[in-house]
Homo-oligomer: A and B are copies of this chain.
Amino acid sequence: MIPVISTIDLLKLASGDILSLQVYQFIGRQPGKKAYIQANLHGAEIVGNAVIYQLIEFLSTLAEEQIAGEIWLVPVCNPLAVNQRSHFFATGRFSSYDGKDWNRIFREYQTNSSDLLDFAKSQLNNPPEIIKRNYRERIKTAWQQELKKIEQPKSVPVSQQYRYQLQSLCLDADYVIDIHSSSNQAIDYTFCFSERAETARYLLVDYGIMMNEYNGYSFDEAFLNPWLALETQLSKLGKAIKFDIESWTLELGGGMTINPTSVATGFKGIKNYLNHKQILQLSESAIAYPITLVKKDKINSYYAPTGGMIQSRLALGTKVNAGDKIYQLLSFNKQQELPEIIDICTETDGLVFDISINQCVNQGEYVMDILDCSN
């Protein structure tokens, strides 16, 4: 089948050029759920574009009957970040205007608690699908305010102009997958909400990181948190509902590179997930994969205790025990001393989860993450 392809203007540059998004919509013959999948929100994290390319290739081979509902695909979803360069490195993690992480700018629908309580009460006799529809209406209505702010003389900063266009694409989605990578180098994994951890097994990655601390304003949270808040409120009123609405940040490999293994993992996982959710109507069955779920605060970051050069660092995926040497720092000085080698050992058991690209570090620069899988 052939996708509907549409282009959405994002913002005009000082030069008069306009940066845009392009959306590929595969719309099935049967009605159904809407999956929204984007890639490259951080400029260096390009793996997901190759995954989306493979999805487009694959979906194009399907007949319309094989899709129930809709699949929306948005590669290179942040042109501002993708095109940020310093020397020839892709540095698009933070907006250069305000230093904000491009994945901490999103607007979450929130009402004050009495409004939410009133709404929940008014829905107690409705079936879940009606509640969902009514709540979505509220979210969309609130979203109109964002556009009004943009149109005022004061207007709003770059990040708010951008988020308006991007979030508008998935306000009515059922499943959101935001494909990232480490901006450094990392293993493949997914972030997941503890309330939706069950389904993580269908993404076919080895590790799931559960967000036990509130991150704030990330794309996945901005989408799902309003629904979790509603579930909590309804539950307090004695009506326990779990909406079939999910949000994932899928992390595939490292920055500035397209690792073919990570691409294959991402493609296979997303296809399986869409099959499980029955948007894809395939002959094969979806499979569930054993996944190790770990809380986010079990990621222990190591920073350089002094300036120097990183040597003999353990490779990604290495298992370590507390006290094992994980890297060396070759440190020079300007006090007429010989250079010294400093051994750094892990404080906990765990797994080498993420490592810096740059092995030349000032004191306090990031070196590596150890994921403590105990517990």
Binding site for B on A (CB under 8 A): 3, 5-7, 11-22, 24, 40, 43-44, 46, 49-50, 53, 56, 60, 75-76, 78-79, 82-83, 85-91, 93-101, 150-162, 183-184, 256-258, 260, 300-312, 330-339, 341, 344-347, 356-366
Instruction: List B contacts of A330 (CB < 8 A).
Output: 49-50, 53
Taken together as a complex, chains A and B put the C-alpha atoms of A87 and B312 apart, in Å, by: 24
Taken together as a complex, chains A and B put the C-alpha atoms of A245 and B366 apart, in Å, by: 37
Report A304 CB to chain B, min CB distance, Å. 7
From B78, B158, B257, B332, contact of A362 by CB (8 A): B158
How many copies of this chain does the complex contain? 4
B14 touching A22, Cβ below 8 Å: no
Instruction: List B contacts of A82 (CB < 8 A).
Output: 13-15, 360
Report A197 CB to chain B, min CB distance, Å. 27
**Additional pairs, 16, CB under 8 Å, beyond known A13-B79, A85-B96:** A15-B79, A15-B307, A16-B308, A17-B307, A50-B311, A53-B339, A88-B184, A94-B94, A94-B98, A152-B347, A153-B345, A157-B301, A157-B364, A157-B366, A256-B359, A260-B312
Q: Which 6 A-B pairs rank lowest in CB-CB distance, beginning with the nearest?
A: A16-B332, A94-B99, A86-B86, A158-B364, A15-B79, A12-B307
Report A253 CB to chain B, min CB distance, Å. 11
Instruction: List B contacts of A95 (CB < 8 A).
Output: 99
